[in-house]
Amino acid sequence: MVRPASRGCVYLALLTLFAPPASQHTLRDAADHAHLLFGTAVRAQRLSEAAYASTLAREFNLLEPEDAMKWETLRPDPKSFDFSQADRIVDFAIAHGMKVRGHTLVWHRQNPPWLAEGHYTPAQLAEILEKHIKTVVRHYRGRVFAWDVINEALDEPVLGSLRSTLWYDQPGIGSAQKGTAYIERCFRWAHEADPEALLFYNEAEAETMNPKSDAVYAMVQDFRRRGVPLDGVGLEMHISNLHPDMASISANIGRFTALGVQVHITELDVSLAVGANGDPTPEDLRLQAEVYRQIATACLSHPGCTAIQTWGFTDKYSWIGSHSRGKQGAALPFDRDYFPKPAYEALRGALEQSKGH
């Protein structure tokens, strides 16, 4: 494969700033050295693409489905489950010695029309949700080591408040206006289905010390005190600021791990402004690499931070371009042609320099 000339010179110049001397190690090698899980979100339909599959197997020791375990994919109708896409990802991971995170059992988005428009009563919804959680978790018992049980249950307009959703209060599962009671029920159902799986609460815009992460912290503290089976917190970290508050991010990771739970960085990407050709500036690539390095270093500085995942790994399939209508992109460690970017070398360097968890 020939590297595109328009990006080749830029990458070659920048790679020398971040590559460890004479290193031939992959990112996966470096993660194993650091005793850290380093993974990425995966699309089942891309596994038939040779470059996609070979890069995954070579560079990562952890996989998570992007959409294959969400309701709209798993539940084509009220009476059946379709595990085909998710099974393909799990089978790929097992064949290549990788661990699997399950994502996600409960979310307010990407639900099938039969569910979202079904006008169920709270009792009916509770029955549907309990059956869904237990069926999915039991199907992957012993193969999925950790689950995002609840995804993004807190709101953005009023940071720290519970989001009004089908599961909480529209009409909810019978725990409306009872705070985090519906979340607790979901964790208990998942634990009943697989007592060995690690159970995570996953949240966006909670990577720094802020009202949303304060609310997550209060919930985790309460759950831990009362014996609710919550094992970890997922911090998504979709970053668009090339100068994030790293002191706040590290302190936030530290306060969660001090509660005795694990932290996983679950959906990391660092988006850049791009031109009409989809390429960023050399300076932004340098800054992006530094952000990736700092995030990895922050995680490695806390023994309870045990996994880092990027949301996809190649710019070829990143969600950032469509989400920003082409204004941003180039958010991931590999470019559109699967060549490692400075961000890749920065991550690998940070992991190789770690003394291990």
pLDDT band at 52 (very low <50, low <70, confident <90, very high): very high
User: What are 109's strand-pairing partners?
Assistant: none
Of the candidates 264, 232, 145, the one whose C-alpha atom is nearest the C-alpha of residue 196 is 145
pLDDT tens for residues 138-180?
Answer: 999 999 999 999 999 999 767 779 999 999 999 999 999 999 9
| CATH number reported for the structural domain that contains residue 124 in this entry | 3.20.20.80
pLDDT band at 11 (very low <50, low <70, confident <90, very high): low
What values do phi and psi take at 102, rounded to 5? Answer: -90, 135
What values do phi and psi take at 112, rounded to 5? Answer: -70, 155
Beta strands 328-329; 272-273: pairing state? antiparallel
Give the number of domains in the chain. 1
What values do phi and psi take at 128, rounded to 5? Answer: -65, -45
pLDDT tens for residues 211-247?
Answer: 999 999 999 999 999 999 999 999 999 999 999 999 9
| Percent of the chain at pLDDT exceeding 90 | 87
Catalytic residue numbers read 152, 267
Q: Cα–Cα distance between 165 and 284 in angstroms, integer?
A: 38
Of the candidates 352, 353, 354, 334, the one whose C-alpha atom is nearest the C-alpha of residue 344 is 334
Contact by Cβ (8 Å): 312, 318 = yes
Long-range contacts of 71-78 (CB under 8 A, 24+ apart): 71/107, 71/110, 71/111, 71/112, 71/115, 71/132, 72/110, 72/111, 72/112, 73/110, 74/132, 74/136, 75/112, 75/114, 75/115, 75/132, 76/112, 77/112, 77/114, 78/114, 78/115, 78/118, 78/128
Domain ranges, residue 108: 5-353
Beta strands 232-235; 238-239: pairing state? unpaired
What values do phi and psi take at 283, rounded to 5? Answer: -65, -40
> What is the per-residue pLDDT for 24?
65
Considering just the CA atoms, what is the radius of gyration of the chain in Å? 20
User: What are 199's strand-pairing partners?
Assistant: 147
Q: Does residue 18 carry a pLDDT above 50?
A: no
> What is the per-residue pLDDT for 357?
64
For 79, the token pair is: 């009476």
Q: How many CB atoms are located within 10 Å of the residue 230 CB?
A: 25
Q: Cα–Cα distance between 75 and 85 in angstroms, integer?
A: 12
DSSP assignments along 124-183, one per residue: HHHHHHHHHHHHHHHHTTTT--EEEEEE--B-TTTTTSBP--TTTTSS-SS-TTSTTHHH
Q: Cα–Cα distance between 264 and 274 in angstroms, integer?
A: 29
Q: Cα–Cα distance between 68 and 59 in angstroms, integer?
A: 21
pTM: 0.92
Q: Cα–Cα distance between 289 and 18 in angstroms, integer?
A: 8
